[in-house]
Each structure stands twice: as structure tokens, then as C-alpha cells.
Amino acid sequence: MAGLRCCVKAVAEFGASSRPASVIRFGTEPEAILSNGGSRLFTCNRLESGVTAVHQFAGRVTGVVPSADGRGLYALCQGDGVYFTPLPHGPRTLSPTAVCSADRSTLTRLEVSAASCVVHDHGVRSFTVVGTVLVTVAPRTASGASACTRSPHRTSHRPAARNDQSSAFQRCPWPAPGGTSRPLEGAAVLEPLLFRLLFGVDAALLFSPMILCGLPDGRLCCLPLLLPGASEVKGQAARVRVLHSLEQPIVFIGASGGRGLVAVGRGGTVLQLWGSGGPRGACWGSRSAGCGALWSVRASATRTCTTAPAATCWPCRWPGPRPPLLPHGDPLSLNVCRVLALATPTLDPTGAVQLLAVSLTGRLLLVTLPQGSDGGHVSMASAAQAGQRIRDLLTIIRTTSDRASCLKSSVRSRSAVLKSLNHIFNVCCLLRTNQDAGDAVTARQRPIRCGVAVRWSSLLQRDSVTLSCVLEPGWTLCVQLVTPPAQAPPTQAPPAQAPPTLSYAFLLRPLPPGGKLAVAVPLGRSGLVSLLLTVQCSLVYSLQSMLGQQEAGALLGAGLLSLPLDTLTVDWLDCLRAQGPGPGPSSAPTWDPVRTFLKSRGAGPGLGAGPGLGAGPGLGAGPYAACIRVSSELLRAALRAPGAGGPALSSALITHLLPERPGGDTHTLTAEEVTVGQLCAVGPVSAVELRVHSASLRTVCALHHAALRRLQALLKDVAMTTNPLLQVEGQTLQQVLCEAQRESDPIQVYRRLRECPLLIL
Amino acid sequence: MHQGIRRSNCLDIWTVENNDIIKKWKLSERIQEVTLRRHDTRKRYYSEILRLLQKIQGVPSVPAGILLELTVLYNTLLFAISVSEFTETGVLLTQGIVRALESLGCQAPSSKPIVLWHTALQTFTDTDHLTHLHQLLCAQWALWLCTGQLENFLDLLSDAQEEATSPSGDLLAVIRDVGFYIEENPTLSVAMAPRELKELAHICTVTTKGIRRMEEGKDSEALLAFQEAVSQPAPRTLLAQLHTLTGICLAKLGRPQSAIQCYRKAMEVDFSCQSSLYQSSLLFRQQGNVQAEMEALGLLHAVVTSPVCRQASSSQAPLLSADSLLQSQAFSCILATPSPPVVQHALAQQCLNSERIPEAVEHYLDLLASLQADGKPLMNMSGSPALPRIPEIYLEAAFVMLKAKRYCDAVAICEEVVNKTVDLVPERLELGIPIEEDQRPGSTTMPATVSGRNKEIMEQRLNYVLWAGASYLLQGQAYGYMKDNTEAVTSLTRSINLLVKVHIKHKDWQCRDAGDWEAAGLKVQTLQRMKGLVLASRGVSFLHNGKQKEALCDFQLSLQTYPGVEHTELWLIEALWQLGRKEEGMAHWRRRTQGSTKRPTPVENTPRGLPLYLQSCLQDGISVEPEGLKKKMEDLIHSRGVLT
């Protein structure tokens, strides 16, 4: 027989006895309770300090069970009943020094009186405590025994079931973890499958504790504590069921690490019950093995220790992955002799297994086993369980993939939205640089530009004016035409209100860099068009395109993002430029657009002016003309042509007014340098005279007006910096122009200008 | 003389001692309230007075001391009976009579009680002695009542008073005419007045007789006995029980209205008489009066669970009560009331049956909680009606949750059952038909033990399959209600996978009509019904998922497994319609309408005996609207009719 070398230390001494003894230890607490089979119970507060308290009972103590809270213990006196006695509270509350100072003289002697008797029944053979319930086994009649339950302090006394003969031992396995109840001190915990196989689904569903009872005839019985009685549940077997018969008195029932239930008979037969799943359904198996006569058995998760009369201890290991086989190989001798009883093995802080033992000579021994390796636990699953597991996993995979694809599409749409938002933001930045740069950057250098051109078109013998807007990269172009208030018919809207506008929206295709987009906006049929329009171009982005109609509506209202682009002005001069013969295609010389235009204004040469117009003083019936004089110096400053003089300056002015045609339209606009002498005290002032010729009086007026407006815009900045003396005249001009703008009839303006020809200084 | 004085002194001391014991006991009885403690107290006083008796009997019996001795013996006997020490009581009684005879110098003829009593009754003639002897006779009567040997008493009386006995030997008549000298002696205390004991013993005797007649099936005779007993003075509790017994006899004799009157009287006498409440609930159930039955059950539950009522009944009990004398099994069986869980379960089921869902939910939740609660171990063992198995209660609770639209709770409860059962299901389970027939014989006989055990295992495994399958079914339906059709299909598929593990071994068996069902046994019927339901439910889920072909297949399989379910037929037609196979749908519709006119009651949706949780119509909430489908079909038929 293989042996182990153990460290043995005698920690306490008490009366020797050859009767069955027992020793109880509360987990790893230093406290131990000893019974040597006599009428006294010994308590060791600390293993080092020896026996500290003695409880004297009326009769022989044959069973000791600690109470659930560890504050007291229940003891069964043979032929008397069950007593409850509180433990001296010392060890857990006293400081270590106080304990050290306690010597043998402080040994407490406690007489357990009849008043502390909990169950007075001389027939009780064995008992156990489950929470607040005390279960006793006692022979009731000559042929039967009955288990009685009662709470230690209250409730009724009721026969529960009948068994044959008296019992020897009992334990209560508690349902495996997952139950709501707390585990019990000293209770065996079985794994769920085994629990259900042995005790049924009903007990498992109710988390009912089970009472296991080994009878002297070797039968192993179980009894549910919570389940309604046998007669109350259909199809349920009798309340107390016999699990197995060992055919010898059962001295120990316990769990081996939850995986198996172990019952040991006095003759040394060891019965094991374990559960296993298989293709034919889960079932429980049992096997027994003999290992000689035994006195005391204790089990822990990894080993069972037994005491035999031969006075050796055998730790039996069951490390295997299969159902734990109890005597795995040969039992190992601990080489400790004359041992009567053992306490449940515990682990000390270093991980070594410790055993408390009571020797024949009445000594309490602390046996420390050498550290050994215990085999790992490999869980085995049946094919059915594996199949179920795979199915579960597949289900999870499917659910996950559904979820993943859903998330993916959401991410995709989100990134698309982000992309377009980025685009919008970029455009916003570009436009901002537009605005920041202001006038410093010329229009041609802006990244996004907008320009207008006016074209005439003739369709079905009707001439109409079309405004073409040209936009370089962008999205939706929105063109608003604002008619100045002066030209709006007074009946339509009061002047305080916003000027009448017309909006056009164009969907933009993606434009390549440097690309252009031209859109045409009809201005109306000829004759009905009033020029001097403000064209406001803006880029509009609809957020609906990225979020969908409803969401965008809910979140952003209209969901439109509008970025102002350019504000341009269109006047008669633009019309001239657009239709002038110079840059136009040479294919249309036969058809003079200007003439057409003039004709359309109802003032063609052939038609002549109305009699009212022609009756003005100094006005002939022939071509009409008007002139504007601008001081050369001022003009030079405005046009930034310092060295230029004479014809160069004149042509520069024409070029400014009609930039597309450097040569100028001699028929319409001429500019020449003149000297004006008599105007003011400074002396003769050189000036440029801009003349407007036309056969139509209305044309002259309109052109004159447009030219003046442009000159005003040109000179606005320069006027501030020039000679203050000359400024007066400029102001006069400005006043006149303001009046002219207010004047509804251009004829009146013309007349005034004619009457006092102005010189713009 | 000196001896005489000492003796008389001794007698005085013993008298005082006896009176002291009785006084102390009465005091402690008043203080003690808990039954358990009271039992212990009585045991203690029993041992004290027994010690006194042994002291008295330590000296040879003399005429002077015999009266004291007999009184102490009487007290001892009462205590002994109250702590159920019947054997010892008998021994003490015999000893006492022998000693009494010895005191007069007579030799006891035999140790047989009846012979002894004969001799004693003939020997003692003076009133004092007879009074004490009759006290003892009352105790003997009580003992024989307890041990069920009433015939002895009858013999004794009929022999003693032959002239008064009617020739028929009618026990009632004998007892009625029993005359006792039971005058009380003021100097000697007794634990219970002999007159009281005699009355109690009398009424208990009559009751016992009635119960025996009831057991023999002679209800009208029993009724007479109970009616006589009721007319006697009796303690409150016993009177209520007698009223209840009368009511039970009346109900058995087909007079329910009178029975209810009796139950009402019982309630008036003793408010906490549980048996009358329970019996009236049974009677109401027989009469189909659901409302009244539920009221009775509700009251019963309140009484059973209320601690006040129990306390009230146990306080101030005399040393011997009717309960301790009427110890026959039959008495407690007839008057047994179910334990609180059983009452609550019945109540919950009734709520469910009468569609009072919120109340049913409350009751089921309470029931589950009370079954799981710690500290309420070991319930009533008497022969009260049974609870179903615990998993079935869980499934019923889940079903109720489903009806109450608490789908997540239903899923959770089912999960609990699944966790506990699914790993116990075998890969394959072969069933012979019929399975239940083989089970009846051989529960104890030796040769049948092995096969009986196999049957038991078989049955248990079939239970696992049914429970796990039903859990998945209910889960699937819950998911279906929650519009999570993918999860529903998963659960239902699991259920199907479990259910198809059971193979039915019978080559000729087919489920064509009701007769086949009866033959197959309830378990197989349940299995088939469940299969049909699961398949149909999965079909519905498939249809909601837009998988019409799979749905159609499931509906067809469902109808094949369990034909004649109307909802499934409608769903089948709907599936055909959605698949565009309108002609087939129309054919089914025509067959259906023709069939239903021919056979007004098609195979019932919920046959009797099936578990409650399978009585669901197929997903009521989302079922096909029969009206809509009908309209569609009729429109189609009409249009076809017009075309052709």
C-alpha cells in the first residue's frame, strides 16, 4: 500500500473513549467541536488553545449538527431528544490577545438543561437541520419508523412518512447553484443533472432541499422538503423513495465535488451515484466497491478520507474525467494510527489539505497532507447536447448576421450622408472664401462664379428676351429676378413691401472642375420686359435627398440649405453688348439686332417719336443724343489709367461700359475728350464727353440712364479721394442722379440734363 | 391504628399532590398556546401523574385508598390517551381494575378487559365505587374509540344491561340508554369532568357509526346517525363537522339543495370549518355553478392561509377532544381539505376557465411563489385531491401569462421548464400503444417489477418530451405575439425536433376518429395534439415571414397529424390563396363547408383531459379572420359561378 508522509500535530486532549466519536469543524474557522461518544461535547475555540468549553448533556451524545448560522449546535442525546445549545461567543468577537491570555483555568463548563430540549422524543435515532427545519428519524411502531419535521422553535409536529426500522444517518443535498436559496453548512451540493435524475424535475423546479437518509438495513432513501405530499401530486412516486440498497448500515452520505453522490456502508461498501447524458437519455448509474470495515468517513471535493479499525487513513482520489471512480487505484495510507473520527477536510492558506482527527487516546490531531496534484475536470457532453449546442450556435450566428447586415446598410447610408455633408461643407467654405476675399479678388479668380448674359430669341415671329446664367460647379441653382421698386407698377405693390421677385430653380448635374453650366431664364416677351434687374443667384441643397422626405421634414422643417452666390445687375447696356454685331457671329449681318431692339421699344426711326416728345425745345425729329461729361482726372483715377489721355481715356471708358467690344458701338455710344472752361474758378477742366445717339428718344433715355448708373458706381469710391473743391460738383451730380432715379419718367431727367449740361468732376 | 393514620396522611398527601398536578397543568394549559408545546406539556404532566400513580400503587390496595387511586388512575388514563399512549393506557386500566378487585378481596378472573369489567361491575354495588368505576369505564370507552374497538364496548354494555337492550343489538339504542353514575367529587380534582367525557364519547360513537355506514355505502343510514349526532350537545368544531358530514350524505343521496343548507349551518356554527367550504365548492362544481364555486374556493383559501383562524381553533382545547377520539382514517379522509396550494390551483384554473385572466395571473404567481417559499415544508398528507406535476403548473402559468399578454414573463417561465427538462430527453423514444394499459397490473407483484420500472421510466421520459415541447411551443407563440417571427420559428422548430423523437409503435394505429383517440391514451393524444399545434403555429410564423411554401407544408403536416382543427384549415386556405392557388383553396373551402354541414361538431379543438396549456386556439390574437376569408372565398366562388 502506498503511503504518504503527513505532518501530525496534537492540538488538544480530552477524555479517552472507545465509543464512536465525531469531530466537526466550521469550514476553515479555527473552531472545532468534539464528541467522544460520551455525554460531553468539547469545543476548541482555537486549535492552539485546546479545549475551551465543555457542554455537559444529560445523556450520551450520538449526533451533533451545527445550526445554520453557526451560533449554536444541535445535539442528539440517546433516548432523550434533541437539544439546542448556543456556542460560547468568544472566538469570533475576542481580540487575538485576549484569546492568547486565556489559559486552561478559563475552561467554561456548561450544563445543558432540560429547558433547552427542542425535540423531546426518546425514539429519535438521527436528525439533521435544514435552515429552520429540524428533521428527525425515529421508529414509530414495531415495524416502522417515521421522519418528523419541525422547526427548531415553532410549528407543528406531524408524521411525514413511514420507513422500516430506525435510521443511522442523513444528509441534505441542496439544489445546485442557480437556486434562490443559500447553501447550507455541511450540505452536499449536487450538479443539476444528477439532482434532477435522482430526485425528479418537480423538486428541481421548486429548488426543494432533499433529505437523504441511510437506514440501518442499508437502504438509501430520499425525501423532498418542499414538495407537496405524494398523494397530492399525480404521478409522483411515494414521498419517501428508496434510491438504492447498500445491504449494510450506512455510515456516511455525501457528495463528491457535486458530480456524484457517495454513500458508504459500515462494512466498507462504497456506493456511488452519478448522472450522465447519452443517446438513450440521461440516466444515473451506480457502482459499489468494498474497501474494508470503516469507522468514519469524510469527503471533500477531491478526496474521501476514511478511518478503519486498522487505524490508518486512506485518502481516495477521484480525479478522472469520467464518473468519479471512488477507489481510484490503491488507497493511500496517511500513516496515522489509532484514529477514531475525522472532520471534513479543509484547505489551509497554503493550499494543503488539513484534517482534524480524534485519536483513540482522546487527542485531537491536526493532520496536514502533503500537497499533491489533483486531476483536472473534463466535462463530457453527449452527442445530443452537442447537437443542441450547435443548433443554438447556428441560431445565434443567423441572428448576428441579420443584425450585422442591418448595421452595415445603416453605416453605408450614414457614410453617404456624411459624404454629401462634407461636400456641402466644402462648398460653403468655397463660398466663404468668395465673400472674405470680397473685392480684392477679381471675379475671375473665384472658384465658383456666376455670370449673366442677355440674349434675344425669336420664336414664332415673336421676339423674346432670355437671360442666360452661367454657373461653374454647384448644385441646384436658384435664380431670383428682383425688379427694382421704381419700375414696378405702383398699383401692384406698395413701395414698403419687398420688391416683386421671380424664382427659378435648376437641378445641377455634377460638374467637372472647370466645367460650366448654362441655364436660360426667360425674361418675357419683347416690349414687356423692363430692364435693370437684380439677379440673385444662390445654391440650394435639399437635405431631403439624404434623409428621406419624412425625417428631413421632421428634423429640419423645409430641409433646405441655401448659400447665396452672386448678385448681378442687368441693364440696357447688357442688352446692347449681348446683341452687338462685333463679337456676334457674322452669319447674322442682314438682321440688325439693335435695330430690332430699338424697334421693339416702339421708337424706331421709321416710326418717329410721339408728337409730345418731339415738341421739346431744341429737339429735332432726327436721331436723338445725350451726353455726359466726366472730369478726365476723376475718370483716370477711377479707371486706374494714370498716364492715359485723350483718345486712350475715351476708349478705356467705352471698354469699361461695354467690355466685350473694345471698339465701341459708334452708332450708339461715343466718347471724346473736351475741355470745359467756364465752369468754375479753378480754370478750364479737361473732361470726357460720353454721347448717346439713337433714333429713338426712349432708347437714348434708357441708355443714358444706364450709363449714368454705371458711372456712378465707378466713381463712387474715387470721389472721396479727389480734390475737395471738386467734390461739390460731384455731389450735385449725385443729387441729380438721385432725383433722376426717383423720377418716374426718364424724359424729365433727360430734359433737365439738357437744360443744364453737367460736368462730372 | 397508627398505620391507619399514616395511611390516611398518605392519602391526604396524595390527594393534595393529585390536585396540585391538575391545577398546575390547567394553569400551564391556559398559558401555552402553541399546539406543539401543549403536546410536550401534556407529556410532562403525564409522566408526573404516572409517577404519583406508581407511588400509590406501590402499596397494597386497600378499600380506603381505592377511591383516590381510581381517580388518579382516571386522570393518568386521560393524559395517556391525550398523548396517544394507547398500549400503556390499556395496561394501566387492567392493572387498576385488578387492584380495585383486590382491594375488595376478589381475585381477578382474567386479564381480558371485557371479563374484568364484567366482574368489576358486578362486584361493586355501592354508589361511591360505581361512580368511580363508571369514570374509568368512560376512559375505557374513549380508549376503545381511539383504537377502533367499539364492539367491545357494545358487548360489555349489552351484557351488563341485557334487559334494556333491544333485540336487534342496535348500537345507537344501547348507547342512548347507558346510565352512568358520574357524580363529581369536590375534594378530588379531575383533568376532565366524567360527564363531559361521556357526552364526547357518546357523540363520537354515533359519528363513528355513521362513518362506518358511509364507508359501507349505506348513505341513508349514515345520514340518520349524523342527524342524531347533530341533535346532541357537542363542541363547536365537531358540530360543524357533523353538519358537513350530513351535507355530504345528502349530496350523495341527490339532495344538493339540502346539502348546501347543511354546509351553511356548519359555517354558521364554526366559521373556520374548512371541510364545509370545500365540500360546497365541490358541489357547486358538480352543478356547474362556476361563480359560487369560485367564491367558496376563495373563502376556503382565505381560511386555509389565514393564521388567525388556525390559532382560534387550537386554543382552549380540552384534554381530550373529538379529534383525538375520532382517529379513524375514514373520518379524516372524508373531511379532508386540500392544502393551500391545491386550493389556489383550483381557484386559478377556474379563473382561467371563466376567462378572468388578471385574477388567474395573480393566483398562478402566488401559487408558484408559495410552492417555492422556504419554511413551508411537508404539507398535508391526507387524501385530498392532487396537484398536477410541478412542471405542468409552470406551463399553465406560462399559458396564463400568454393570455394576459405578458409575453416576456411567459417566455421566462417556459425557459425555467426547458432548462430543467430538455437535457433529460432521450434521442429516441419508442412507445407501444396503448401505453397505459400495461401499467395497471404489476405495481407490486414481483415479475412485473422490472417491466413496471421500465414503464415508469418510459412514462417519465415521455413527460420530459411533452413538457419541453410544450415549453418551446408556448415560447414560440409568445414570440409570435411579439411579432418576432424569426425567433418564433426557432422555438417552434425546437419543439418539433423534440416531439418527433417519440415513435409510436403500432402498425395499425391511425388517428382517424374519436374512437382511435380513446384507444391511444391521453399521453399520445396530447403528443399528437401538440405536434399539430406546433406545426400550425410554425406555419403561421412562416406565413408572416413571407415564406408561403413552407407555411403550406406545415399546415398540411399539421392537419395530417391532428385532423379536423378548424383554425388550421382556415390557415391552409389562406396560404393557398397567398400562393395564388385559388382553385385549390376554393376546393378546400367547399369541402370544409360541406363537411361542417354534414358533421355539425367537427373534432373538437380541445378534447377532454388534455392539458390546460394546450387548449389554446392557434394564436388567437393573430389568427386568420374567418369572416374575411369567407368573404374572399364567396366572392371567388360567385365570380366563378358567373363565369361558368
Q: Cβ contacts of residue A742 below 8 Å, gap of 6+?
A: A486
Q: What is the pLDDT of residue A693?
A: 74
Average pLDDT over residues A587-611: 43
Q: Give the domain-ending residue among A65, A86, A121.
A: A121
pLDDT at A543 over 60: yes
Q: What is the pLDDT of residue B412?
A: 93
pLDDT at A482 over 50: yes
Taking the alpha carbons at both ends of chain B, their separation in whole angstroms is 134
Of A541, A531, A535, give the one whose Cα is nearest residue A521: A535
Judge whether A761 and A685 are in contact, CB under 8 Å: yes
The answer to whether residues A632 and A656 belong to one domain is yes
Q: What is the pLDDT of residue B467?
A: 92
Q: What is the pLDDT of residue B397?
A: 93
Task: Kindly report which listed range (A55-69, A288-302, A641-655, B108-122) carries the lowest average pLDDT score.
Answer: A288-302
Number of domains in chain A: 5
Name the minimum distance, in Å, from the CA of A166 to any CA of chain B: 20
Q: Is the pLDDT higher at A84 or at A697? A: A84
**Angle, CA of A262, A265 and A268, to the nearest 5°:** 100
Q: Which tens digit of pLDDT belongs to each residue from B428-437?
A: 888 765 544 4
In a domain, A578, yes or no: no
The answer to whether residues A428 and A458 belong to one domain is no
C-alpha cell belonging to residue A699: 432708347
pLDDT at A279 over 70: no
The 8 Å CB, 24+ separation contacts for A373-381 are A374/A302, A374/A303, A374/A317, A374/A319, A375/A317, A375/A319, A375/A320, A375/A321, A376/A319, A376/A321, A377/A257, A377/A259, A377/A319, A377/A321, A378/A321, A379/A321, A380/A276, A380/A321, A380/A322, A381/A277
Q: Partners of A535 in the beta sheet? A: A481, A568
Q: What is the pLDDT of residue A315?
A: 40
pLDDT at B242 over 70: yes
The position carrying cell 366524567 is: B194
pLDDT at B440 over 50: no
Name the minimum distance, in Å, from the CA of B366 to any CA of chain A: 13
Q: Could B387 and A201 be called an inter-chain contact, meaning their C-beta atoms sit closer than 8 Å?
A: no
The answer to whether residues A470 and A406 belong to one domain is no
Task: Kindly report which listed range (A166-175, A264-273, B205-214, B427-436) carries the lowest average pLDDT score.
Answer: A166-175
pLDDT at A612 over 50: no
Q: What is the pLDDT of residue A467?
A: 59
Q: Cβ–Cβ contacts within 10 Å for residue A62, how many?
A: 20
Judge whether A294 and A270 are in contact, CB under 8 Å: no
Percent of chain A's residues with pLDDT above 70: 42
pTM value?
0.64
Q: What is the pLDDT of residue A376?
A: 38
The answer to whether residues A402 and A506 belong to one domain is no
Q: Cβ–Cβ contacts within 10 Å for residue A86, how many?
A: 12
pLDDT at B414 over 90: yes
Q: What is the pLDDT of residue B552?
A: 92
Average pLDDT over residues A452-473: 56
pLDDT at A118 over 70: yes
Using CB atoms and an 8 Å cut-off, which of residues 270-299 of chain A contact chain B?
277, 279-282
Model ipTM value: 0.71
Confirm or reject contact between B375 and chain A (CB < 8 A). Answer: yes
Residues of A in Cβ contact (< 8 Å) with B34: 154
Percent of chain A's residues with pLDDT above 90: 2
Q: Is the pLDDT higher at B275 or at A232? A: B275
Q: What is the pLDDT of residue A495?
A: 36
Q: What is the pLDDT of residue A65?
A: 78
Q: Is the pLDDT higher at A71 or at A593? A: A71
Q: What is the pLDDT of residue A331?
A: 56
Q: Is the pLDDT higher at B204 or at B38? A: B204
Q: Could A232 and B387 be called an inter-chain contact, meaning their C-beta atoms sit closer than 8 Å?
A: yes
In a domain, A548, yes or no: yes
Task: Kindly report which listed range (A228-242, B98-112, B207-221) carries the lowest average pLDDT score.
Answer: A228-242
**B421-425, B473-477, B516-520: range with highest mean pLDDT:** B473-477
The answer to whether residues A198 and A294 belong to one domain is yes
In a domain, A753, yes or no: yes
In a domain, A609, yes or no: no
Cα distances from B27 to residues A97, B41, B401, in angstroms, run 51, 11, 54
Instruction: With cut-offs at 50, 70 and 90, classify the pLDDT of residue B170.
Output: low
Q: Is the pLDDT higher at A487 or at B273? A: B273
H or E element at residue A25: strand A22-25
In a domain, A640, yes or no: yes
In B, minimum Cα distance to A179 occurs at: B372
The answer to whether residues A392 and A459 belong to one domain is no
The answer to whether residues A66 and A175 belong to one domain is no
pLDDT at B34 over 70: no
Instruction: Say which of A120, A133, A236 has its CB closest to residue B40.
Output: A120
pLDDT at A350 over 80: no
Q: Is A459 helix (H, G, I), strand (E, B) or coil?
A: strand
Using CB atoms and an 8 Å cut-off, which of residues 155-174 of chain A contact chain B?
155-161
Q: What is the pLDDT of residue A644?
A: 56
Average pLDDT over residues A29-54: 74
pLDDT at B542 over 80: yes
Type of residue found at B546: G
Instruction: With cut-offs at 50, 70 and 90, classify the pLDDT of residue A89.
Output: low
Instruction: With cut-offs at 50, 70 and 90, classify the pLDDT of residue A490.
Output: very low
Q: Which tens digit of pLDDT belongs to each residue from B314-334?
A: 445 677 777 777 766 677 777
Instruction: With cut-offs at 50, 70 and 90, classify the pLDDT of residue A563.
Output: confident
The answer to whether residues A336 and A187 belong to one domain is yes
Q: What is the pLDDT of residue A162?
A: 32
Instruction: With cut-offs at 50, 70 and 90, classify the pLDDT of residue A702.
Output: confident
Average pLDDT over residues A254-271: 71
Residues of B in Cβ contact (< 8 Å) with A388: 422
Q: Which tens digit of pLDDT belongs to each residue from A705-746?
A: 777 777 777 777 665 554 544 444 555 556 666 666 665 566
Average pLDDT over residues B606-612: 63
Using CB atoms and an 8 Å cut-off, which of residues 142-181 of chain B contact chain A?
none
Q: Which tens digit of pLDDT belongs to each residue from A317-328?
A: 333 333 333 444
Could you list the residue range(s) of the whole structural domain that residue A399 is in? 383-439
pLDDT at B451 over 80: no
Using CB atoms and an 8 Å cut-off, which of residues 471-490 of chain B contact chain A?
486, 490
Average pLDDT in chain A: 63
Cα(A386)–Cα(A670) distance, rounded to whole angstroms?
A: 102
Segments in A40-121 forming alpha helices (H): 90-93, 96-101
Q: Is the pLDDT higher at B471 or at A516? A: B471
Q: Is the pLDDT higher at B53 or at B165? A: B53
Residues of B in Cβ contact (< 8 Å) with A280: 426-428
pLDDT at B400 over 60: yes
Fold for domain B388-609? 1.25.40
pLDDT at B472 over 90: yes
Residues of A in Cβ contact (< 8 Å) with B467: 201
In a domain, A576, yes or no: no
Would you mind telling me the total number of residues written for chain B in this entry?
Answer: 644
H or E element at residue A535: strand A533-542
The answer to whether residues A469 and A546 belong to one domain is yes
Q: Could B377 and A193 be called an inter-chain contact, meaning their C-beta atoms sit closer than 8 Å?
A: no
Task: Kindly report which listed range (B148-157, B371-380, B598-607) carries the lowest average pLDDT score.
Answer: B598-607
pLDDT at B18 over 90: no
Round the CA-based radius of gyration of chain B to a whole number and report it. 35
Confirm or reject contact between A114 and chain B (CB < 8 A). Answer: no
Q: What is the pLDDT of residue B124?
A: 78
Name the minimum distance, in Å, from the CA of B452 to any CA of chain A: 13
Average pLDDT in chain B: 77
Q: What is the pLDDT of residue B241?
A: 87
Q: What is the pLDDT of residue B179?
A: 61
Cα(A159)–Cα(B327) distance, rounded to whole angstroms?
A: 14
Average pLDDT over residues A478-485: 60
Phi, psi of A153 (to 5 degrees): -120, -10
Instruction: Say which of B34, B339, B461 has its CB closest to residue A228.
Output: B339
Q: What is the pLDDT of residue B471?
A: 94
**Angle, CA of A402, A403 and A405, to the nearest 5°:** 65
pLDDT at A622 over 60: no
pLDDT at B576 over 70: yes
